[in-house]
Structure 1
Amino acid sequence: MNPLVLQSDFGLDDGAVSAMQGVAVGVDPRLRIHDLTHNIPPYDIWEGSYRLAQVVSYWPEGTVFVSVVDPGVGSDRLSVVARTATGHLVVTPDNGTLTHLHAIFGITALRQIDETMNRRAGSEESYTFHGRDIYAFTGARLASGAIAFEDVGPEVPLERLVSLPLLEPELREGAVHGSIDVLDVRYGSLWTSIPRTLFARLGVRHGERVQLRVRHQGRVVHSAQMTFAPSFAAVELGESLIYVNSLDRMAVAINRGSYARAFDLGTGSSWEVALEPVRPAPSAASADAPAPSENRSRP
């Protein structure tokens, strides 16, 4: 019996999430069912993809995730179960939701759900709520041990996995480049794709200044300088900072404010970010000082 973790863009204003939970309990009432989030913005596959990658490594091996952000429900997109290199299973439409999991952790196998076997009885003529009828049902069967991964359906070659475009972080021309992957939703911080280890190659220490530039669709839309700090407490109220977030990636924030809202910035591969050290200019005194004499008299 493994944990079952649900994610969707359904919200909690109606009974959709409860229906999914009810289907899972109907498979096995002993299941431990948990919620990742149901506040993914409607149809935002990118956000759903990132939130899976944000939490998967904190759950025990064998945990089954069901992620339903499915603007193409009823189309010819595949319903799949993915096995990750971390030993987790993810039940989801194959529409890009697995992008960040594959890029960060790796997906080792993919199977298409055989809906003739893995579908809630009586739902065969329903095509609009696969989250309840197929994904929650299949996820519960996997988590409870009623079926194994191999019983899901036929194997799908990994090269057929649908992925959203990602901007690979890199160091070039004295700056690290990446994208704004997602927002810290409640506080408005920008979480970038730039790993701390890549940023460290710039040699910037805590307390030093960093130049931030944000491009959207190739055009610079924001530029600012700020301090690289270990935490929000290291800067003044209302001051901006660069810091290392909980995923060991570089983030941008305002202490007690929303950086995204303040500057109207978004997320995704079209939002590029560059971080560059601000090196202090030589002082006038040092620039005007005479060169040391080479003809010094010895004592």
Structure 2
Amino acid sequence: MQIITLTSDLGLKDYYVASVKAQLLQEIPNALCIDISHQIKPFDSIEAAFQLRSCFHQFPKGTVHLVGVDCEPYLPNKLQPGQPESILAYPTVVEFQDQYIICSDNGFIGAFLDTDPPQALYRYKSIEEFPDQWNFMLKNCFIGLAKNIIHQKAFPEFCETVNKFKRAFTPVPQIEHNLIIGNVIHIDAFGNIITNIFKSDFERFGLDVPFTISYQKRNDDIDTISKAYNDVPMGDRVAIFNENQRLEIAINRGANAGSGGADRLFGIRLGESVRVAFFPRGSVQKISSLL
């Protein structure tokens, strides 16, 4: 059984995902198709990278991941006068941790890898010769590339090796002497707020050091990391480290209350800052005096 995952911005309202899966099963009958998400914001390769990276480590070696987000190629014949070649985007195969990702080099690769190096990068430059593949790339191009990989076709027969890819801006936490300033990088279907602050960032300040987590509404500060949502009463705010060790802020069962999750109740949006201030041991200072 060959595992193939799908990540796209196609949504679930239309027939598009079904069409992709039908073509996939025709080309690779033994495929076990797993959906990562088809609700990526249109053309948002950064969100696609977050979703796939969050579960990538759970898949076995040899898994092939297809990412159909903003994947129409941008080829030399589309360049306008004065436009740099750096904006060109080709279908690309990323080999990473003995798995394969087929995507467009549109910033997704840089966001997904962050500072990790790939094992190899391959560009499908022959796409220039097959304009019939330009439309609906996930179906008409990426599945064919996946088939080549699964059948162990030598990469030089259908791709060329490259060593560069587009970087993407992904915010990183600012860490100062008593302060971490991070950002909201994702809001899930429950309205839970996921940040780019990791448990390891907390641990840099030592164990059992008092802290306060603050965001837009200062009267909703949190000073405890819970093990689970139900550690607090229903409707209360809670902070946890999720399964990927990211700081997450939530309302326990807030999404079931009819008023929405933490994002709506706190008025927090993607990209906004989250601050964690650490107090000196034994200090009774308020956070306002530390910032």
> What is the TM-score with the length of structure 1 in the denominator?
0.78
Q: CA deviation at 1:126?
A: 5.1
Q: CA RMSD in A?
A: 2.7
Distance in 2 (alpha carbons) for counterparts of 1:3 and 1:203: 41
Identify the structure with the greater helix proportion. Answer: 2
Matching of residue 228 in structure 1 with residue 232 in structure 2? no
Change (3 A) 1:140 1:19: farther
Note the C-alpha offset of 1:114.
3.9
The 3-state SS of whatever aligns with 2:101 is strand
Greater fraction strand? 1
Return 5+ residue gaps in structure 1 as ranges: 214-220, 284-299
Q: Deviations over 1:92-120 (max 9, x none)?
A: 01112223431265422211114369x9x
Q: Percent of counterpart pairs with the same letter?
A: 20
SS across alignment from 1:58: coil
Q: Shift of residue 44 of structure 1?
A: 1.8
Residue in structure 1 matching 2:180, options 168, 176, 179: 176
Which one has the largest radius of gyration? 1
CA contact (8 A) 2:20 2:138 kept: yes
Select which of 82, 89, 112 maps to 2:100: 89
Aligned to 1:33: 33
The separation in 1 between residues aligned to 2:44 and 2:106, in whole angstroms, is 11
Superposed CA deviations along residues 156-211 of structure 1, whole A, max 9, x for unmatched, are 113xx11221222342130123222212x2211111111211112234649x6523
| Kept after mapping to 2: 8 A contact 1:7/1:67 | yes
Relative distance call for 1:59 and 1:104 in structure 2 (3 A) is: farther
Q: 1:87 to 1:150 in 2, by over 3 A?
A: farther
Partner in structure 1 of residue 167 of structure 2: 163
C-alpha offsets along residues 42-76 of structure 1, whole Å, 9 cap, x if unaligned? Answer: 22222111011011100001100000111x62523
Name the structure 1 match of 2:258. none
Match of 1:277 in 2: 278
Structure-2 change in CA distance of 1:13 and 1:140 (3 Å): farther
* Aligned counterparts of 1:79 and 1:204: Cα–Cα separation in 2: 46
Partner of 1:210: 212
**Residue of 125, 129, 132 corresponding to 1:125:** 132
Q: State the 1:244 CA deviation.
A: 0.6
Report how many residues are paired: 263
| 1-structure distance, mates of 2:205, 2:62 | 39
Separation in 2 of the partners of 1:90 and 1:52? 10
Q: Provide the residue aligned with 1:265 in structure 2.
A: 268
Which of 151, 159, 178 is the matching residue for 1:145? Answer: 151
Q: Structure 2: which 5+ residue stretches go unaligned?
A: 76-88, 255-260, 286-291
Whole-Å Cα distance in 2 between the matches of residues 240 and 272 of structure 1? 17
Aligned pair in 2 of structure 1 residues 205, 18: CA closer, same or farther (>3 Å)? same
